[in-house]
Amino acid sequence: MSSESVITDLVSIIKDAREHLNYLNELGVTNVETGVQSGVSPNKAGALESTNIAAAQAAATISRGTRQSVTAPPQDMLFGDIAAPPPPIIEKSFESFEQIWSDVGDCTRCPLHQGRINIVHTEGNRHARLMFVGEAPGADEDAQARPFVGRAGQLLTKIIESIGFKREDVLIGNVNRCRPPGNRPPTLEEASMCQPFLLREIAAVQPEVIVVLGNTAMRNLLDIKQGITKVRGQFQDYHGVKVMPTFHPAYLLRDPSKKKETWEDLKKVRDYLETTPRRQS
C-alpha cells in the first residue's frame, strides 16, 4: 500500500470520527467511557441498569473519575506525531463511606446474599496512603462483619506491621462483600455487582498504593489476563493509583515458601511510600 493511500485512509477515518463526535455532541454527550467493567457483557449491563438501580448509580459515580472528554483531533495534527492521550485518573470523590454503604443496602444483587450472615464492608483509615484488597470474606469475616480477621487476616496484619504500618493505618477491603459458598472465588458476575462500590471507596480515599491480594482481586481491579505469579512484584497503574499485585495471605498459609516473594513485593511498597512525599488531599 502506497503512503498516499495510507494518508487517504487516515483522513477518511478522522472525517468519520469527526462526524460521529458531532452526532454525540448533538445528543448532549460530552464524555464517553474509556473502559468496560470486567466480566459484564452488554446484555448483563442492560439487565443491571434495569433491575439494579443502586449498582448502576455506583458505576455512574465512579465513571466520572475514569472518563476522558471527547475532543476532535486538532486540524494541524501531523500523522507522524499522533501522541497517545494521557491515562484517565480517578477524580476525588467527597462521598462518605456511609453514603456508599447506604447504596449497598441489604444487598440482594447476586446469589451470594442467600448464604451470607453479614455484609462485610471495607475497614480502616479513610485517609490512608495504603490499601489492601482481597477477593471475598471467609467464615470468620462473615461472622464478625469485618474483613481479614481469620487466620489469613492475622497473617495480613503481621505483613502490614512488617513494613512499618499498623492495621489501623491502612484500608482493608475485598472485591466482594458476601462470602461465597465454601470460600470459592466469586464469579465475574458476582464481582461485577460489588466492584462499583469498591471503586467509589477508592475514589473517596484516594490511596497512593493499592496492594491486590491474589488473582481474583488483581483481575477485577486491573485488566490483566496473566496470573499472579507472572505479575507479582511489578507496580501496575490503575487510573493514576500505583497497584502492587502479590499473593493472598490464605495462599501463603498453604505454601509458606511464597512468603519470601511476598516480603520482596511489600518492601517495594514500603520503599515507594517512604521516598514519595505524601500527596496533598
pLDDT score recorded for residue 205: 96
Nine cell digits for residue 168: 489501623
Mean pLDDT in each 10-residue stretch from start to end of the chain (281 residues)? Answer: 59 62 52 46 44 45 42 45 61 94 97 97 97 97 97 97 97 97 93 95 97 95 90 94 97 97 98 91 61
Nine cell digits for residue 99: 453514603
Determine the Cα–Cα distance for residues 243 and 207; give it in Å rounded to an integer.
10
CATH 3.40.470.10 fits 97-275, yes or no: yes
Distances, alpha carbon 271 to alpha carbons 158, 216, 243, 265, 274, in Å = 18, 26, 14, 10, 5
Query: In a 10 Å sphere around its CB, with 0-12 CB exposed, 13-18 middle and 19+ buried, how is residue 16 labelled?
Result: exposed
Residues facing 32 on adjacent strands: 68
Q: Which of 65, 51, 38, 53 is nearest to 104 (CA)?
A: 53
Instruction: Describe the strand order of the beta sheet including 236-238 as a list of residue ranges.
Output: 123-124, 171-174, 130-134, 209-213, 241-246, 236-238
- Would the pTM count as exceeding 0.95? no
Determine the Cα–Cα distance for residues 202 and 171; give it in Å rounded to an integer.
10
Task: Write the DSSP symbol of residue 279.
Answer: P
pLDDT score recorded for residue 87: 59
Please report which helix (H) or strand (E) contains residue 68, including its range.
Answer: strand 67-69
Going from N- to C-terminal start, the domains of the chain cover 97-275
Determine the Cα–Cα distance for residues 252 and 246; give it in Å rounded to an integer.
10
53-63 and 97-104 helices, crossing angle to 10°: 150
Query: How do residues 71-92 score in pLDDT, each as one tens digit?
Result: 444 444 444 455 555 557 788 8
- Region of 247 please: left (phi>0), alpha (psi -120 to 50) or beta: beta
Q: Which of 173, 192, 200, 239 is nearest to 60 (CA)?
A: 200
Helix (H, G, I), strand (E, B) or coil at 67: strand
Q: Which of 199, 165, 172 is nearest to 270 (CA)?
A: 165
**Got the DSSP string for 63-99?**
HTTSEEE--PPPTT--GGG-PPPPPP-PPP----HHH
pLDDT score recorded for residue 252: 97
Nine cell digits for residue 80: 507522524
Longest dimension (CA), the chain: 68
Determine the Cα–Cα distance for residues 198 and 103; give it in Å rounded to an integer.
12
For residue 25, give every residue at least 6 positions away whose Cβ sits within 8 Å of its Cβ, in sequence order, or none: none
pLDDT score recorded for residue 223: 80
Given a contact cutoff of 8 angstroms between Cβ atoms, the answer to whether 207 and 131 are in contact is yes
Nine cell digits for residue 30: 460530552
